[in-house]
Amino acid sequence: MEIQHNISLKEYNTFHVDCKAKQFVSIETAADFLKLLQSREWVHYKERILFLWGGSNILLTSPTFDGLVVCNNILGKEIVTDHEHEVFIKAGAWEEWSSFVERAIDHGLYGIENLISIPGKVGAAPIQNIGAYGTEIGNAIVSVWGYNLETKEYETISHKECFFGYRDSIFKGIRKDEFFITDVTFRLQHFDPDTYAPISNYGSVAEELAKKGITKPTPRHMIDTITEIRAEKLPDRHKVGTWGSFFKNAVLTQEEFEDFTERVHRIKPDLTIEHYPINEEFIKIPTGRVLDHVLGYRGHREWNVGCREKQALCIVNYGWASGQEILHFARKIQKECHDKLGIAIEPEVNFIG
């Protein structure tokens, strides 16, 4: 374990924003981590530490990070406990998320197939409660194991204690910066063609399966189809910097929804925005559709930053955009949503300044 100085984080965040970390350390083993806790740098920067798990859900908003960046490279072996119908798998935080999903399917398991192609690492999945096409990872997480920086002990956080919500968990809330995730345990099912009931009714997935003439999809069909849809909609993150959806879908009260609908009709009289009641009080609306059809942001570009041509919700870094530039662009979109449509749209991405 070696602490390095003035290291560029460009390759450590999926938006490829250049930000120099004053101190940087890569942790390969749990022993490394314990060594780090004894170091001078740890004591010095205790209040200014950034844990990185692939940087797939952060925006570095400053050219420098005046603290200690801890890059979690703990791979960890998968430990499998097999039961009759289900399997518990404990995976290391640094495992590439998508290859973990692939391997699970190759081993005849299912439960997370709809989450293929989401960038990032296993350790970031519970923080963000990643979700796509009707599946949220929180439902498959049994527990999260890691180091509690307050108590200075390893600890298991059960599913219930994770407080999973829409792109949300306790790791973004009161346990933010307090818990260093090292492993995650998932509950997956053995594939049985007679009982397998995939979540395949999500619009674009159902359409694509129908086009291929697949009426009884297997987990392999699901990951192949979803990989294709995502490759078409979301950019190749090796070529342009991105995170996927930058903003969450908006959640409005009935009253806010009525006001919003009225304002939309004033701008676009013929447009209907689909909406999904969450409960009696709240309604979810697809922010991507609003940015595209109401505000015209799909394909809109300002210098190095823009909204993807095929998915307005996805902000991309076309070249050398700084974190500030991206933040400025995002704030502009938020302001326009607020001023013209009366809605507050929340970023899904976490800002690190």
Which residues are marked as active site? 167, 245, 348
Which is nearest to 260 in space by CA: 329, 333, 344? 344
Of the listed pieces 149-157, 210-218, 287-295, 320-328, which binds ligand EPU according to CB under 6 A?
287-295
Rounded Cα distance between 255 and 240, Å, is: 39
C-beta of 7: minimal distance to ligand EPU in Å? 27
Rule CB under 6 A: say whether 208 interacts with ligand EPU. no
Question: Of 19, 70, 132, 295, which one interacts with ligand EPU (CB under 6 A)?
Answer: 132
Closest distance between ligand EPU and the C-beta of residue 134, in Å?
7
Tokens standing for residue 143:
């527990």
Ranges within 174-203 binding ligand EPU (CB under 6 A): 202
> Which range binds ligand EPU by CB under 6 A, 168-176, 244-252, 321-329, 336-344?
244-252
Contact window for ligand EPU (CB under 6 A) among 81-89, 154-162, 310-318, 333-341: 310-318
Question: How many chain residues touch ligand EPU (CB under 6 A)?
Answer: 18
Least CB distance to ligand EPU at residue 79 (A): 28
d(CA 210, CA 200) in angstroms, rounded, equals 10
Binding flag, residue 311, ligand EPU (CB under 6 A): yes
Minimum CB–partner distance for residue 81 and ligand EPU (Å): 30
Cα torsion at 226, 230, 232, 237 (round to 10°)?
Answer: -140
Neighbours of 250 (CB within 10 A): 21
CB of residue 214 vs ligand EPU: minimum separation in angstroms? 19
The single residue among 133, 164, 191, 329 that binds ligand EPU, judged by CB under 6 A, is: 133
Q: Which of 26, 76, 348, 352 binds ligand EPU (CB under 6 A)?
A: 348
Position among 14, 26, 245, 322 found at the interface with ligand EPU (CB under 6 A): 245
Q: Is 298 in the site for ligand EPU (CB under 6 A)?
A: yes
In order, the DSSP letters of 4-37 are: EEEEE-GGGSTT----EEEEEEEE-SHHHHHHHH
| CA dist., res. 167 & res. 125, Å (int) | 10
52 with 65: CB under 8 angstroms?
no
**Which residue of 23, 289, 317, 326 would you call a contact of ligand EPU, by CB under 6 A?**
289
Compare residues 61 and 311 and give the one whose CB is closer to ligand EPU: 311
| β-pair partners for 316 | 242, 306
Q: Closest Cα to residue 145, out of 170, 181, 173?
A: 181
Name the residue among 31, 109, 119, 29 with its Cα closest to residue 76.
Answer: 29
Q: Which position's Cβ is nearest ligand EPU?
A: 244
DSSP state of 165: B
Phi, psi (5° rounding) for residue 64? Answer: -135, 150
According to the binding rule CB under 6 A, does residue 286 interact with ligand EPU?
A: yes
Q: How far apart, in whole angstroms, are the C-alpha atoms of residue 37 and residue 46?
A: 9
The helix/strand/coil state of 353 is coil
By CB under 6 A, name the binding residues for ligand EPU. 132-133, 202, 204, 244-245, 248-249, 286, 288-289, 292-293, 298, 311-313, 348
